[in-house]
């Protein structure tokens, strides 16, 4: 406080000095402001100013603090002293004895009253024992409350203005003379006035009586009316008509929760945008997983130039970021000039694609991913359109009729069927029940049933359903197994259709509880693998392949490492590299696995070596060989013998007329190899080869090592025997392969290492020397010394306090002594006074007697 005031003072001084204010009262301090008397302030003078030391005791207010201490003592010690040697004291036992004034609320008062009453009752219990009307009469101003209530006339309260005094008009005329036309004398005037006053009073009384009468009347009438009114309202309630539709609607509208403002309707554009953003996010996440633990940058990636002074703080000089920037530099010939990177690239025809790749990978992950993303999606869209076209083409090519037929049929059935299936279906307990349930219906109905089971057993409806859904998933897997394990040529297509329709539901199911469902599927795959492992030279049953496809459809297979996709990959690799290829079924299954494997790697562009080996093997099998010929090929394919030329076609003309065809579902279940299958298989192989090298691995460095073995083998194919479309595919595949195989590569070099930062030396601070020489002590001892010091100081303080206490008490004693002395002195004086008066009277009497005598 002192400091503050000082500062304000200083300010004032400063302002006085610098700015001569025009107003002389500007700096004046109000008379009433609480100010410190400068004589009250005690200042402890500081000899040296020490930096960093906070001084608490530079000034003090001895007067104030002394007064405070005194007050505190009188409140504590003084009280104690006052009741010293007292044997009893007055104790307040009332309820709420600590409350005062405003704090005394109604409830406290009531409680007090009650307790008081109880005490009274208790005291007079015996006397009042036989008192029947025990209720005490409460009084107010001597009257009982009942009486007061009886005579109370509330309505007269406000009107009771008996102004006994004279009215203003009269007084003004009477006292101040008025106009002067007062012919009558004073006597008559007064009389008149009195009579007037009386008349007025009478009138008022009369009015009052009238009003009273009328109100009485009204009251009586009202009392008569009252039952009628009550009845009427009740009747009305009874008679209330049943609410009609309008009322209902109204009520509903009233009570309907109103939509909150934030949930405004989203227009489709916004929705699409949100969806796109969501997909974008998911895609980015997928890419991150695909790369996995900061997977390698490409070996030949050039890191943009980095200065040795680069601090790695993520800050880039503005120009540095842009690669297409022009750099001022000497070229090989020693000419100074700007090199336009972009131009050079444009000129470089062969390395163009490579450069681009490098660039895109150079630019770092985040920025470029988006671009790539868009590119990807573009290309994907393209692919899709391609796909559709090819589909439609092939449809037209092979057999447009059956497809067209089946579609409308399907629609029809789905329309008619829905009514025949119950809407709520309980979850079957066992697998037998499940199959029984499904057996009753056609495939499309089965799908509806599954859908409805899912809906009825949605985990959000009930907790138990969580188990049910998992069970249903397991049942479905089992069902798939049963369907495909021993499928025949006739029903395989139906089974595939059913699985295709089940696919979205399986997807939904997996999303309900990803962990449990995935573990179920993983267990199934594990089981299948264990089965396959027993004899790894034989292809597994068809259902295994369907599970692979399921994995491909439901999971993000592009991940670098995926708990389900990776084991499946290994499984597929194992099958492709070990299982013997002897029948049409084997070949078809191998091709099926290859297509699934390609799906797995379609985004991540990963490769499975066995895929190439298998494709090579099929090309190898299609080459007709003489007995002695041996063309090198890796197992599971055979170098010679009948199995080495399974797909070789005889030199007849009928093969030339075959139509282009996709692989058929029946291929997966039949064993005999027909001519059309031979052509078909080779055709698909060629197309696959083209797709793999074009879309998937063509751009990887070293892809030529995979492509080159195909070329010599393909040269040996008897191309003339095959129909035109095969020849066309052959040409396409060959050109792609040649392109990939001829690719040149840059020798591997390790990525440039980051320039090592200069070693920075930490400044060395010395311990601050404070000139205090204390003995060095151990920590414990130091602590103890500190404590002892503290004790000493506290002790001192305590002694001082005690001393002051005694002084205070002595002071009190002295005051008391003086007080009592004074009283006694006065008493003595009075006694003397009285005695002297008495004596004087006596003397007077005596003197009078003497006088009489004399």
Partner 1 sequence: MKQPLAKKSAHIEDVDVSAKRTNVPAELQQKANAFLNSSNVDTKVLREIVYLLEEPECNAIGVMHVLEVIFKNLLKRKCISAAEKQQEKTKSKGKANQSNAKCQTLYNKAWSFLLVDWGSASKEESSVALKVCMQLILSESKYIYSNAWPRNALRSVLETLVNSETTPPTAVAAFQKYARCLDVLQMTYELLPELAPNIFADSPNMALNYLAIINLLDLGKTVLNAKEYHIGPGTDKQPNFEYNQTRKHLNAVWKGIIASCSGVDEKVHRQVLVVLLERILPHLQDPILLTDFLMDSLHQFDGPIALLALQGIFTLMQQQNITYPDVYQKLYNMFYPRMFYNKYKARLFYLADIFLTSTHLPENLVAAFVKRLARLALKSPTEDAIIMIRFICNLLLRHTGLQRLICATGAASAVEISDPYDETELDPVKAGALKSSLWEMSLLQKHAVPEVANAARFVSKSLPVVEFDLSALLEMKECDIFDDEVKKEVNHFTLGYERPTNFALPQNDIVTKYWDII
C-alpha to C-alpha distance for 415 and 448, rounded to whole angstroms: 11
* Closer CB to partner 1, 73 or 613, in the complex: 613
End-to-end CA distance of the chain: 87
Omega within 30 of 0 (cis) for the link into 636: yes
- Which residues from 526-585 bind partner 1, rule CB under 8 A? 526, 529, 533, 549, 552-557, 559-564, 566-567, 569-571, 573-574, 577-578
Distance CA 425, CA 454 (A): 9
Q: Between 566 and 655, name the residue whose CB sits nearer to partner 1.
A: 566
Asked if 603 is part of the footprint of partner 1 (rule: CB under 8 A), the reply reads yes
Q: Is 635 in the site for partner 1 (CB under 8 A)?
A: yes
Q: What is the number of residues in the chain?
A: 854
The single residue among 600, 614, 693, 730 that binds partner 1, judged by CB under 8 A, is 600
| Spatial distance between the Cα atoms of 293 and 282, rounded to a whole number of angstroms | 18
Using the rule CB under 8 A, is 518 a contact of partner 1?
yes
- With CB under 8 A as the contact rule, the residue among 147, 270, 515, 841 that binds partner 1 is 515
359 binding partner 1? (CB under 8 A): no
Structure tokens at 391: 């589909």
DSSP, collapsed to helix, strand or coil, labels residue 217 as: helix
Smallest distance, partner 1 to C-beta of residue 400, A: 13
Binding track over 365-394 against partner 1, x by CB under 8 A: ---------------x--xx--x--xx--x
Sketch the per residue contact string, 264 through 283, with partner 1: x for CB under 8 A, - otherwise: ---------------x--x-
The candidate with the shortest Cα–Cα distance to 323, out of 363, 372, 368, is: 363
Sole binder of partner 1 in the list 74, 284, 664, 670 (CB under 8 A)? 664
Residues 743-782 as x/- pattern, contact with partner 1 by CB under 8 A: xxxxxxxxx-------------------------------
**Choices 207-215, 222-230, 288-296, 775-783 (CB under 8 A): range interacting with partner 1:** 288-296
For partner 1, the closer of residues 428 and 476 by Cβ is 476
The nearest distance, CB 664 to partner 1, in angstroms, is 6
| Alpha-carbon gap, residue 180 to 540, rounded angstroms | 140
Interface positions, 392-431, toward partner 1 (CB under 8 A): 394, 398
Question: For the CA atoms of the chain, what is the radius of gyration?
Answer: 57
> What count of other Cβ atoms lies within 10 Å of the Cβ of residue 721?
19
Is the CB of 289 or the CB of 804 nearer to partner 1?
Answer: 289
The interface region with partner 1, picked from 145-153, 307-315, 448-456, 662-670 by CB under 8 A, is: 662-670
Using the minimum distance from each CB to partner 1, give the nearer residue, 74 or 566.
566
State the minimum distance, in angstroms, from the CB of residue 619 to partner 1: 15
Smallest gap from residue 666 Cβ to partner 1 (A): 9
Q: Is the CB of 428 or the CB of 474 nearer to partner 1? A: 474
Distances (CA, A) of 750 to 747, 765, 811: 10, 42, 97
Contact 556, 286 (CB under 8 A): yes
Alpha-carbon gap, residue 575 to 582, rounded angstroms: 14
Please give the distance of CA 668 from its chain centroid, rounded to a whole number: 51
Among the residue ranges 46-54, 285-293, 438-446, 646-654, the one whose residues contact partner 1 (CB under 8 A): 285-293
Q: Which of 435, 566 has the CB closer to partner 1?
A: 566
Map tokens 């008379």 to a residue.
31
Near partner 1 in 669-708, by CB under 8 A: 684, 687-688, 691, 697, 700-706
Question: 555 or 730, CB closer to partner 1?
Answer: 555
User: Does position 504 bind partner 1 by CB under 8 A?
Assistant: yes
Give me the torsion for CA of 382, 387, 392, 397, rounded to 10°. Answer: 120
- CA separation for the pair 663, 681 (Å, rounded): 7
Give yes or no for residue 619 binding partner 1 (CB under 8 A): no
Long-range contacts of 392-400 (CB under 8 A, 24+ apart): 394/660, 394/661, 394/662, 397/659, 397/660, 397/661, 398/659, 398/660, 398/661, 398/662
Residues of this chain, 24-43, that bind partner 1 according to CB under 8 A: none
Q: How far apart (Å, rounded) are the C-alpha atoms in residues 636 and 87?
A: 117
3-state secondary structure of 375: helix
- CA distances in angstroms from 788 to 187, 340, 777, 794, listed in the order given: 106, 82, 14, 10
- Give residues 190-249 in contact with partner 1 (rule: CB under 8 A): none
Other beta carbons within 10 angstroms of residue 19's beta carbon come to 9
Size of the site for partner 1 (CB under 8 A): 112
Task: For tokens 């194919």, name the residue.
Answer: 717
């Amino acid at each position: 406080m002192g400091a503050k005031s000082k500062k304000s003072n200083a300010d004032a001084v400063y302002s006085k000095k610098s700015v001569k204010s025009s107003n002389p009262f500007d700096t004046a301090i109000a008379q009433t402001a609480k100010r410190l008397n400068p004589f009250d302030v005690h200042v402890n003078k500081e000899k040296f100013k020490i930096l960093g030391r906070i001084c608490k005791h530079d000034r003090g207010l001895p007067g104030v603090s002394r007064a405070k201490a005194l007050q505190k003592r009188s409140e504590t010690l003084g009280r104690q002293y006052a009741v010293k040697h007292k044997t009893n004291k007055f104790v307040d036992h009332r309820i709420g004895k600590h409350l005062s004034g405003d704090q005394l609320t109604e409830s406290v008062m009531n409680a007090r009253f009650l307790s008081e009453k109880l005490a009274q009752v208790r005291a007079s219990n015996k006397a009042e024992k036989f008192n029947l009307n025990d209720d005490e009469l409460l009084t107010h101003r001597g009257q009982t409350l009942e009486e007061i209530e009886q005579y109370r006339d509330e309505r007269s309260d406000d009107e009771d203005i008996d102004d006994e005094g004279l009215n203003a008009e009269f007084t003004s005329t009477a006292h101040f003379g008025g106009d002067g036309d007062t012919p009558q004398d004073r006597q008559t005037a007064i009389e008149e006035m009195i009579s007037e006053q009386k008349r007025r009073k009478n009138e008022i009384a009369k009015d009052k009586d009238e009003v009273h009468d009328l109100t009485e009347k009204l009251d009586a009438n009202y009392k008569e009316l009252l039952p009628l009114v009550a009845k009427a309202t009740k009747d009305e309630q009874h008679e209330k008509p049943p609410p009609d539709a309008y009322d209902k609607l109204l009520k509903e509208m009233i009570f309907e929760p109103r939509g909150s403002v934030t949930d405004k309707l989203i227009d489709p554009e916004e929705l699409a945008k949100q969806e796109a953003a969501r997909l974008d996010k998911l895609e980015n996440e997928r890419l991150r997983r695909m790369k996995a633990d900061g997977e390698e940058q490409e070996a030949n990636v050039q890191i943009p130039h980095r200065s040795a002074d680069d601090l790695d703080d993520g800050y880039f000089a503005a120009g540095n970021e842009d690669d297409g920037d022009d750099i001022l530099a000497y070229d090989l010939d020693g000419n100074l000039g700007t090199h336009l990177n972009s131009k050079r690239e444009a000129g470089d025809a062969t390395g163009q694609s490579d450069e681009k790749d490098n660039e895109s990978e150079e630019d770092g992950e985040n920025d470029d991913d988006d671009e790539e993303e868009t590119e990807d999606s573009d290309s994907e869209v393209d692919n899709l359109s391609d796909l559709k076209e090819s589909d439609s083409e092939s449809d037209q090519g092979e057999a447009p009729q059956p497809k067209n037929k089946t579609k409308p049929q399907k629609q029809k059935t789905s329309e008619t069927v829905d009514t025949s299936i119950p809407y709520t279906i309980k979850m079957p307990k066992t697998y037998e029940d499940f199959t029984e349930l499904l057996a009753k219906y056609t495939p499309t109905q089965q799908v509806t049933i599954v859908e409805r089971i899912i809906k009825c057993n949605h985990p959000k409806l009930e907790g138990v359903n969580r188990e049910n859904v998992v069970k249903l998933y397991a049942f479905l897997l089992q069902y798939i197994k049963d369907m495909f394990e021993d499928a025949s040529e006739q029903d395989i297509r139906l089974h595939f259709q059913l699985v295709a329709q089940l696919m979205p539901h399986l997807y939904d199911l997996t999303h309900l509880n990803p962990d449990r469902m995935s573990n179920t599927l993983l267990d199934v795959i594990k089981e299948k693998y264990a089965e396959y492992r027993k004899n790894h030279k034989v292809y597994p049953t068809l259902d295994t392949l369907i599970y692979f496809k399921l994995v491909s459809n439901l999971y993000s297979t592009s991940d670098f490492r995926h708990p389900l996709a990776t084991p499946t990959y290994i499984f597929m690799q194992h099958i492709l590299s070990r299982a013997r290829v002897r029948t049409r079924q084997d070949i078809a299954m191998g091709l099926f696995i290859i297509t699934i494997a390609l799906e797995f790697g379609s985004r991540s562009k990963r490769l499975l070596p066995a895929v190439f080996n298998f494709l090579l093997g099929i090309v190898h099998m299609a080459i007709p060989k003489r007995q002695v010929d041996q063309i090198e090929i890796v197992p599971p394919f055979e170098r010679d013998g009948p199995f080495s030329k399974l797909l070789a076609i005889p030199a007849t003309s009928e093969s030339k007329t075959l139509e282009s065809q996709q692989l058929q579902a029946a291929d997966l279940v039949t064993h005999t190899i027909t001519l059309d299958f031979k052509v078909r298989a080779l055709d698909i192989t060629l197309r696959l080869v083209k797709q793999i090298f074009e879309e998937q691995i063509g751009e990887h460095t070293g892809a030529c090592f995979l492509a080159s073995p195909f070329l010599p083998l393909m040269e040996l194919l008897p191309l003339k025997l095959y129909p035109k479309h095969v020849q066309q595919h052959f040409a396409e595949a060959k050109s792609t392969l040649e392109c990939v195989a001829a690719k040149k590569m840059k020798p591997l070099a390790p990525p440039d290492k980051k320039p090592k930062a200069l070693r920075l030396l930490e400044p060395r601070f010395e311990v601050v020397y404070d000139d205090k020489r204390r003995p060095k002590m151990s920590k414990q001892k130091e602590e103890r010394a500190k404590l002892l010091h503290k004790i000493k100081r506290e002790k001192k303080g305590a002694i001082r306090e005690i001393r002051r206490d005694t002084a205070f008490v002595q002071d009190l004693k002295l005051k008391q002594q003086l007080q009592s002395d004074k009283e006694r002195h006065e008493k003595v004086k009075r006694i003397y006074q009285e005695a002297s008066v008495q004596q004087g009277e006596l003397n007077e009497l005596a003197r009078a007697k003497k006088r009489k005598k004399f």
